[in-house]
């Protein structure tokens, strides 16, 4: 919208005490945006986050098997405001196996 991303417009034009954002860590990475810049510029606005990983080719991957640096992202949880983490994969062929892999992957992340 006139060169402004909708998420940036929402964050700029809404009251932080009334509007918070559910951030998808896969899609913000795919978009080439810097999640840490969002955390710094809008601290505490992201109480919910989707935790999906990205394969080398950009496709979705089970958490822990891809390239997204969740340890660094989760280390910024306080600044971001993360309180709830939703491990998921939109395109899983075997959803139960993907959920188990995602649980194991997120459980192994140290930060």
The pLDDT of residue 111: 85
Dump pLDDT digits (tens) for 37-80.
Answer: 999 999 999 999 999 999 999 999 999 999 999 999 999 999 99
Q: What does the alpha-carbon distance between residue 74 and residue 92 come to, in Å, rounded to a whole number?
A: 23
Q: Is the pLDDT of residue 34 over 90?
A: yes
pLDDT for residue 1:
77
> Percentage of the chain with pLDDT > 70?
100
HSE toward the beta carbon, residue 74, CA cutoff 13 A: 16
List alpha helices for the chain, DSSP H: 6-13, 25-30, 35-41, 70-75, 77-80, 95-107
């Amino acid at each position: 919208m006139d060169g402004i991303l909708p998420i940036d417009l929402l964050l700029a034009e809404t009251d932080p005490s009334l509007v918070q954002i559910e951030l998808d860590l896969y899609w913000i990475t795919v978009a080439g945006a810097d999640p840490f810049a969002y955390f710094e510029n809008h601290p505490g606005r992201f109480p919910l986050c989707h935790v999906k990983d990205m394969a080398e080719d950009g496709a979705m991957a089970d958490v822990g098997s891809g390239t997204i640096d969740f340890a660094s992202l989760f280390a910024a949880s306080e600044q971001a405001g993360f309180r709830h983490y939703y491990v998921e994969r939109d395109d899983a062929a075997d959803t139960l196996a993907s959920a188990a892999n995602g649980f194991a992957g997120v459980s192994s992340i140290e930060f």
